[in-house]
Amino acid sequence: MIKLVEVYETANPHSSDAKKGFSLRETFINPNHVVCVREDFAFRKKVENEEALQDLDKRQRFSKIYMDRGHTGIDMTVVGSPDQIYETINTKRVLRG
């Protein structure tokens, strides 16, 4: 298992009166289920335009991780560039040896 920092939406998307916000939390993933890692440019623009995560450095990069979950998949936005995420995943795999 690998620990990453996930960015998630704090507002209820089904409620019209709730204000949208974002927060950070630690999450653990199984690297054997990662299908794809891409830079999440859309989320980076959100942070720049809406100041959703004003505590983060504006130069921070975000990645979208796509994971296999059987018939369906799951995707999450995490803090870090695709290269950083790749290094984290592969370093852990090599160390398991």
pTM score, whole prediction: 0.78
Residue 3 CA from chain centroid, whole number: 11
pLDDT digits (tens, 9 = 90+) for 27-43: 999 998 899 999 999 88
Detail the DSSP E strand segments found in the chain. 2-9, 22-29, 34-39, 62-69, 72-79
Q: DSSP state, 56?
A: S
- Res 95 pLDDT > 70: no
87 and 80 in contact (C-beta within 8 Å)? no
Confidence of residue 97 (pLDDT cuts 50, 70, 90): very low
- Res 53 pLDDT > 60: yes
- Res 15 pLDDT > 80: no
CA distance linking residue 36 with residue 53, whole number of Å: 25
The mean pLDDT of the chain is 82
Q: Which residue has the tokens 């995943």?
A: 89
